[in-house]
């Protein structure tokens, strides 16, 4: 009985503290910190704890009972799956759309477009795992559209998430396919568009519409709902735009 009582006290204290836990797609690593700062200006008593990772992995964890209140995904597929299973209590909504970029720190001629992957100097091509990360799936789709996938397949090196892929692209790979938004953060501003990175033609892959849902454990959580609403607000849309995302006005 004592253990049950203590657990109840701890849980109640946590709820009163206004803490919320948010699963965040790795491509949002920079922008989520800006969003949290802006949200805190009007909600100083709410602490937003964020965890970064691959959307597919988060979906599996949430289905297994991971204690998240909000899920900010890198695509619509995974939040839609949670909604269909009644694990999400709000219908998935697009908060922004992402853009795929190709980068290289090896001095390759990125002006060739995707054709550069055929260069003999290219031995390793980094991309996020296409099974769990939408930007990885978009990379595979673009390479197939250009008839380059079979040639490039043996060179592919997979990152667990888009953030891991960015690290591979900088340190170990000859070419990396990453989120264009990465280059708008302070850590990546040193890389120049047109020289170190270029956007991949968006007609070569399906739109990367990124969705958000409020999860079942937070259906009566006013703090979680406040943060959910903020991510869809006009202020948040402007922040997403500042980081290279596309948003509907």
At 2 the pLDDT is 40
At 225 the pLDDT is 97
- Mean confidence (pLDDT) of the chain: 91
DSSP letters for 81-136: HHHHTTSBSS--EEEEEE-EEEE-SS---GGGGGGGGGSTT---EEEE-TTT-HHH
What are the residues facing 211 on neighbouring strands?
Answer: 94
> What's the alpha-carbon Rg for the chain, to the nearest Å?
20
At 183 the pLDDT is 94
Spans of the chain, pLDDT less than 70? 1-17, 249
SS3 22: strand
At 160 the pLDDT is 86
Task: Indicate the Cα dihedral angle 180, 59, 51, 162, nearest 10°.
Answer: -30
Q: Smallest Cα–Cα separation from 49: which of 69, 26, 73, 74? A: 69
53 exposed, middle or buried (CB, 10 Å; 0-12, 13-18, 19+)?
buried
Strands 175-179 and 100-103: what pairing? Answer: antiparallel
At 54 the pLDDT is 87
Are 199 and 180 spatial neighbours (Cβ–Cβ below 8 Å)? yes
At 209 the pLDDT is 95
At 5 the pLDDT is 36
Q: How far apart are CA 241 and CA 97, in angstroms?
A: 10
At 101 the pLDDT is 96
Q: Smallest Cα–Cα separation from 177: which of 192, 194, 195, 164? A: 164
In which order are the strands placed within the sheet that holds 100-103?
156-159, 125-128, 175-179, 100-103, 197-199
At 16 the pLDDT is 39
Cα–Cα distances (Å) from 151 to 1, 118, 154, in that order, read 64, 7, 7
The model carries a pTM of 0.79
Which domains occur in the chain, in start order?
2-97+208-242 (3.40.190.10), 99-204 (3.40.190.10)
């Amino acid at each position: 009985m004592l253990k049950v009582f203590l657990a109840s006290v701890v849980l109640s204290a946590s709820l009163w503290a206004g803490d919320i836990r948010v699963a965040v797609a790795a491509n949002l690593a920079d922008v989520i910190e800006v969003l949290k700062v802006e949200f805190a200006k009007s909600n100083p008593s709410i602490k937003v704890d964020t965890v970064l990772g691959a959307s597919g992995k988060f979906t599996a964890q949430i289905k297994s009972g991971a204690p998240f209140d909000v899920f900010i995904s890198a695509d619509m597929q995974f939040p839609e799956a949670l909604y269909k299973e009644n694990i999400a209590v709000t219908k998935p909504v697009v908060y922004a759309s992402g853009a795929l970029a190709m980068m290289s720190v090896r001095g390759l001629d990125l002006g060739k477009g995707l054709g550069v992957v055929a260069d003999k100097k290219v031995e390793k091509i980094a991309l996020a795992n296409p099974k769990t990360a939408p930007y990885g799936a978009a990379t595979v789709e673009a390479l197939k559209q250009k008839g380059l996938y079979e040639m490039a397949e043996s060179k592919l090196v997979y990152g667990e998430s888009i953030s891991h892929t960015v690290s591979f692209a900088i340190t170990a790979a000859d070419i990396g396919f990453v989120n264009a938004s990465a280059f708008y953060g302070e850590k990546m501003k040193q890389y120049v568009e047109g020289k170190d990175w270029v956007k991949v033609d968006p007609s070569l892959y399906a739109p990367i519409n990124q969705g958000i849902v409020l999860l079942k454990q937070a259906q009566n959580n006013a703090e979680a709902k406040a943060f959910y609403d903020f991510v869809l607000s006009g202020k948040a849309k402007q922040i997403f735009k500042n980081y290279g995302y596309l948003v509907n006005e």
